[in-house]
Amino acid sequence: METQMNAVLAADQARKVMIQDGEEDTIDLVELFYLFLEHIWKILLCVVLGGFLAFLYTFFLVTPMYKSTSKIYIVSASNDSLVSLADLQIGSQLTADYQALMTVRPLLEDVIKNLDLEYTPAELVEDVVTINNPSDTRILEITAVSDDPEEAAAIANELAQQAVIYLPRIMECDTPNIAETAVIPEKAYTPSYVRNILIGAFLVAAAYCGVLVVLFLMDDSLSTMEDIEKRYNVQVLAMIPESGKSGAKGYGYGYGYGYRNALQRQDRNSEKRKKVEQG
């Protein structure tokens, strides 16, 4: 009896010393693997649930956006029939100027007025219109973004038309040509249902796995003989059966259960001795 009590006290003291010394418990990756494997169906359920919630969020709360693009071609011709190398070089230089001037306030105000838009020139530049010049070309791409596909195409075409009229007058150069008009887009370019569903499924499954890992690390209960040997660095000598109050029978491992049973037997023996002495 005293030997078991001393062993338990020594093991507890050793554990306290280990904690005070700052030694950290190592994570057994194999145990984590079997933990995830044990909850694989719940993890798969979280994947399905996360994907479904992401689909609902995208369908009901995210506004689809459409974009349409028109293109203008800039070239300076010295005569009506031929385009020389010098003309091409001048056209390349003019392209950068066109790109900068296509977002000036007077030009944007004409577009807003003609289409009866509710944007300001600053909002049109920041949120709606994008001017892009592909590398090594004299082409300007005018892209408009809107939640209305017809509005997106109308803005791109109107800005190209006004640029053809307005910019040659300002720059005193030849009129550029409209290479391609914008068409009404049939499909929204954003949001992406596939991407959002994958992100939602991953986040919910990762959150559930994170909860499992936290509970696993916080669980300091003793379930097997290996747990006792690993925690207290002692060898388990016997397995002692124990009956609970409800009548269910179970088995406890190591000194913890044996110590508790020993204390219970000691209390019962003390009570018997008192009754004998009183009798």
Q: Taking all residues of the chain, what is their mean pLDDT, rounded to a whole number? A: 78
What's the confidence (pLDDT) of residue 176?
85
Pick the more confident residue, 42 or 279: 42
Select from 275, 231, 98 the least CA-distant residue to 171.
98
What value does the mean pLDDT take over residues 92-117? 87
Helix, strand, coil percent content, the chain, rounded in steps of 5: 60, 15, 25
Q: Is there a contact between 212 and 115 (Cβ–Cβ < 8 Å)?
A: no
Report the alpha-carbon distance of residue 86 to residue 109 in Å, rounded.
34
Residue with tokens 């399905």: 48
What's the confidence (pLDDT) of residue 85?
47
Ramachandran class of 254: left when φ > 0, alpha when ψ lies in -120 to 50, beta otherwise: left
Write out the E strands in the chain: 66-73, 129-132, 139-146, 177-180, 239-243, 249-253
54 has pLDDT over 60: yes
What's the confidence (pLDDT) of residue 264?
59
- The pLDDT tens digits of the residues spanning 250-277 come to 444 444 444 455 555 556 666 666 665 6
What's the confidence (pLDDT) of residue 253?
45
249 has pLDDT over 50: no
Q: Compute and round to an integer the Cα radius of gyration of the chain.
A: 39
What's the confidence (pLDDT) of residue 28?
73
Q: Bridge-partner residues for 252, per DSSP?
A: 240
What's the confidence (pLDDT) of residue 126?
92
206 has pLDDT over 90: yes
The model carries a pTM of 0.64
Indicate the domain borders of the chain: 2-26+221-278, 39-62+191-220, 66-180
- The pLDDT tens digits of the residues spanning 62-87 come to 999 999 999 998 865 544 544 454 45
Q: What DSSP state is assigned to residue 65?
A: B
What's the confidence (pLDDT) of residue 46?
96
What value does the mean pLDDT take over residues 140-151? 95
Residue with tokens 């003390």: 270
Provide the CB-side half-sphere exposure for 119 (13 A, CA): 24
Pick the more confident residue, 228 or 24: 228
- The pLDDT tens digits of the residues spanning 86-96 come to 455 555 667 78
Q: Is there a contact between 47 and 203 (Cβ–Cβ < 8 Å)?
A: no
Residue with tokens 């569903």: 197
What's the confidence (pLDDT) of residue 257?
46
Q: Is there a contact between 99 and 140 (Cβ–Cβ < 8 Å)?
A: yes
Q: pLDDT band at residue 22, thresholds of 50, 70 and 90?
A: very low
Supply the DSSP string of 156-189, one letter for each residue.
HHHHHHHHHHHHHHHHT-PPPEEEE-----SS--
Task: For the domain made up of 66-180, give the CATH fold.
Answer: Alpha-Beta Plaits (3.30.70)
